[in-house]
Chain A
Amino acid sequence: MLAPYLPILLLFALATGFAVFSVGIAPFTGPRRYNKAKLDFYECGIEPTPQPMGPSRFPVKYYLTAMLFIVFDIEIIFLYPYAVANKALGLFGLVEIILFVATVFVAYAYVWRRGGLDWD
């Protein structure tokens, strides 16, 4: 049952081991020359602008993109099984999927018209 997943697990272990080892060994292989300016965050060499403590400033715009992504990702999730089982479902499946895509298209047209797809 789990046999086809075993190679994925092994590759996961190998890749994780490699990545953790590489990232973990870096402080020991590199030099350490303390300089306060290095620890500042980089803003092209000018004095960095003061930041609020704790980085948590996401522009709200990106949430909209994430929501749209979920809508279309779910559409894809419905399309994949249909594409695979297309032969078995026949004409019934075709009509169903056209109705489904048309429904999502209405939502898509609504989002477009309301400017949800416009950036700035």
Chain B
Amino acid sequence: MSPVALPGSGQNVPGFGDLPIWLVLIKVLLVFVFLVVMTLFAIVFERKVVGRMQNRIGPNRVGPWGTLQSLADGMKLAFKEEIIPVLADKAVYWLAPVVSAVPAFLAFSVIPFGPTVSMFGHRTPLQLTDLPVGVLVVFACSSLGVYGIVLSGWASGSTYPLLGGLRSAAQMISYEVAMGLSMVAVFLFAGTMSTSGIVSSQDHLWNVIPLIVSFCIYAISVVGETNRAPFDLAEAESELVGGFHTEYSSFKFAMFFLAEYINMITVSALATTLFLGGWRAPWPLSLWHGANAGWWPVLWFVGKVVAFIFVFVWLRGTLPRLRYDQFMHLGWKTLIPINLVWILAVTSIHVLRDRGWPAWKATVLPLGIVLLLIVVPALMAYEGYTARRLAAAAEDDEDAGREEPTFPIPPLDLRVPTSPVRREPVTAGLRGGATALDRTIDHGDTSDG
């Protein structure tokens, strides 16, 4: 077989290499500021929306309509005492928040904000950089973020953070598999992994429509990936206090908080790029020709990101937290097999269409094969499994009914004895005893509370 020329390999995407360094610096600064401002906004937004969902008003004291609340919180954190527990591994404890925050920023370097615009007399794309493997950069950064979390849990030298860090690491790598698999179909459609290439491949149809299954899996798995409710088991307050950042205070805690929110913004931006048409205007607006030119796309982009963040908040306001085993089952036993089957189906359809098959034939045949060979046997196996489990449960119940209890039980034909006739009132002694008893109960209550 002759060697195949791989598209997108060995060449750089044009428009990024020939910029003066000061302009690159300005763009870097803009991305940085964008992320920090979006974080401040997202925190207030989340508190406001969750407040409304719970029939509260939310923060409304600091600044107009409470919009400066998160800024005030950040300032407050800066002036809090920093506590390092005695058993902590000092160097790693110090390093972990940095390791957590830096990759979070870096992941945003390949996200396209808009098309080529003119900036201080230079034509430049509204994107920090683009690589033929753009999405892999986001992937690499989210993997590096795991280090910050697991190191912080380990370095605290305490029980709850250790458990939280481990849980978080296991959770993030489990859901990273599902997240990675959900992107394969997008690369298949776009024929490239560069983010700007993926956006330009969606100029007629957003990927979310043909790849709805991939989008759903992506949306579910990023909630697990970013440790957000209902998958926030790593910081389940009722089980683990605060999870990996229990022992952190002051600015170090702020770094973890910042990283968590930036990660949320990053996965929202990636969802926008991969599935929701990137910076392209949504349908009724896209009829206007100027909508996809100049600086307008930044608005559509931010709007889509905020809409995705709203879904995050909505999930948090609606759903209770999963149990850890349910959560792992969802990731490993549901999302991954569905993903693999879906990828095979989409790949087959794509290849058959490329080879000139009529569209309906190319669609029906792979889907039919998938249904016949995989989904039907899986459903039958599941039915059998459920039936067997129900049978086993019924058997257990029967066994429980037949079993002789080890404790004495009263005879079933028990007659209630007639109550004895009370001969004389014993009120005095009883009352004294009762008050003494009451007093001890009261005492116990106050010392408990």
Contact = CB atoms under 8 A, between A and B. Distances in A.
Given A29-B78, A38-B83, A94-B347, A44 B241 contact: yes
Contact of A105 (B6, B7, B89, B340): B340
A58 B325 contact: no
Interface string B378-409: 00000000000000000000000000000000
B348 interface: yes
Contacts of A119: 324-325, 328-329
Interface residues of A, number: 75
A59 B5 CA distance: 46
Interface string A79-102: 111011111111111100110010
B338 interface: no
A4 B177 contact: no
B188 interface: yes
A30 B86 contact: no
Interface in A45-59: 48-49, 51, 53-55, 57-59
B437 interface: no
Given A22-B251, A26-B82, A86-B351, A6 B157 contact: no
Nearest to B100: A19
Contact of A23 (B130, B170, B251): B251
B24 interface: yes
A32 interface: yes
Interface in A21-37: 22-23, 25-27, 29-33
B347 A97 contact: yes
Contacts of A44: 241
Contacts of A10: 24-25, 28
Contacts of A118: 325, 329
Interface string B322-333: 001100110011
A79 B181 contact: yes
A40 B181 CA distance: 43
A84 B109 contact: no
Contacts of B268: none
Interface in B310-329: 324-325, 328-329
Given A7-B28, A8-B109, A29-B78, A90 B255 contact: no
Contacts of A12: 102, 105-106
Contacts, number: 232
Interface in B88-132: 89, 94, 97-98, 101-102, 105-106, 108-109, 128-131
B191 A68 contact: no
B32 A42 contact: no
Contacts of B42: none
B176 A40 contact: no
Residue from the set A8, A26, A30, A105 with the largest chain B CB neighbour count within 10 Å: A26
Interface in B245-263: 246-247, 250-252, 254-255
Contacts of B187: 80, 83-84
B8 interface: yes
B79 interface: yes
Given A38-B83, A83-B184, A11 B31 contact: yes
A69 B174 contact: yes
A55 B89 contact: yes
Given A7-B129, A22-B254, A84-B192, A55 B28 contact: no
A8 B137 contact: yes
B4 interface: yes
Contacts of B347: 83, 86, 94, 97-98
A90 B355 contact: yes
A23 B98 contact: yes
Given A18-B105, A86-B188, 17 more contacts: A4-B131, A7-B128, A8-B128, A10-B25, A11-B32, A18-B101, A23-B94, A48-B158, A51-B159, A59-B166, A65-B173, A76-B177, A80-B187, A81-B6, A88-B4, A88-B5, A94-B347
